[in-house]
């Protein structure tokens, strides 16, 4: 029998209205938004359901809100008898994977993500950092481009998303130069991303250091199901390792393609993107044509996923 992997989205997936249908249908889902509101001291349901987008885009709001909606979607799946055999998440999504595996408590995760968002935003002044998606080059070429462009400033691979899509991150000028060089080397496109900070590069080391202090007081358990870590693309099971990898993750590249391949090697043949958007579903489809991929973010996608799983 094949196994089900839950995968949790990262920043950029947010939109006004996310999670609303599921909260209206299921009282248990509505409770998750209430719990987030009580923990953070603002109305999480109102924010996720109504926006505005400008507020949802603020990193310290984005991270806990996407996480809350992802947990709401996981709850809706659980109510319908669907639970994961393993989990992973992209960047902030890793907290979703750890929470669904009972390694971190929901209230702790939502608080951590607000602080993580703030620390990441404050690490680099607005406008001084950037990220770009390089489409159509292999990873060796992208790594070479980053090396060559580093004379203009810090620029590093940040997300190995799927074959032919790697995100780079660093100081704005260096990222722009690397994007130009990538096109010269045959990249189909180099797209500057709408982000407020250069995530997953060495410029965010200070954010990881600040997160380390906060993580010291958080209780972490051994995961009840395998969780694949962004930094290593391997299963992480000891609480000490989880804590250390969450610190490193802030300034290290996300090895997403390898993480998906690792889950496939562990028997996953069905991937469910749990939370807003379909970015990860797109990546998984590019990584393998041999697995089932679905997403759950509203009533229609939930019903579709359940019928596919029953079929």
Catalytic positions: 91, 200
Q: What is the DSSP string of the chain?
A: --EEEEEE--TT---TTTTHHHHHH-HHHHHHHHHHHHHHTS-HHHHHHH--HHHHTSHHHHHHHHHHHHHHHHHHHHHTT---SEEEESTTHHHHHHHHTTSS-HHHHHHHHHHHHHHHHHHS-TTSEEEEEEES--HHHHHHHHHHHGGGS-EEEEEEEETTEEEEEEEHHHHHHHHHHHHHTT-SEEEE---SS-TTSGGGHHHHHHHHHHHTTS-----SS-BB-TTTSSB--SHHHHHHHHHHHTTS-B-HHHHHHHHHHTTEEEEEEESS-SHHHHHHHHH-SSSEEEEESSHHHHHHHHHHHH-
């Amino acid at each position: 029998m094949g196994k089900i992997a839950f995968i949790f989205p990262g920043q950029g997936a947010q939109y006004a209205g996310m999670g609303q249908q599921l909260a209206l249908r299921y009282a248990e889902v509505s409770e998750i938004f209430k719990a987030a509101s009580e923990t953070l001291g603002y109305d999480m349901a109102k924010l996720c359901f109504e926006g505005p987008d400008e507020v949802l885009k603020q990193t310290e709001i984005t991270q806990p809100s996407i996480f809350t909606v992802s947990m709401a979607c996981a709850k809706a799946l659980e109510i319908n008898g669907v639970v994961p055999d393993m989990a992973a998440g992209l960047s902030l999504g890793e907290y979703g994977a750890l929470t669904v595996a009972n390694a971190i408590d929901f209230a702790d995760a939502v608080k951590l993500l607000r602080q993580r968002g703030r620390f990441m935003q404050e690490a680099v002044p607005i406008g001084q950092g950037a990220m770009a998606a390089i489409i159509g080059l292999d990873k060796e070429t992208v790594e070479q481009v980053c090396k060559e462009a580093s004379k203009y400033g810090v620029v590093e691979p940040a997300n190995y998303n799927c074959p032919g899509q790697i995100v780079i991150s660093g100081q704005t000028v260096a990222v722009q130069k690397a994007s130009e060089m990538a096109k010269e080397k045959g990249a189909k496109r180099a797209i500057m991303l709408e982000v407020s900070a250069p995530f997953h590069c060495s410029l965010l080391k200070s954010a990881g250091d600040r997160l380390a202090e906060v993580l010291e007081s958080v209780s972490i358990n051994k995961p009840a199901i395998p969780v694949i870590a962004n930094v290593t693309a391997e299963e992480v099971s000891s609480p000490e390792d989880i804590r250390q990898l969450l610190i490193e993750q802030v300034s290290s590249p996300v090895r997403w393609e390898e993480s998906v391949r690792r889950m496939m090697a562990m028997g996953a043949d069905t991937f469910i993107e749990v939370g807003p958007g379909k970015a990860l579903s797109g990546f998984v489809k590019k990584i393998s044509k041999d697995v089932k991929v679905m997403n759950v973010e509203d009533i229609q996608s939930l019903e579709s996923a359940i019928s596919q799983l029953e079929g």
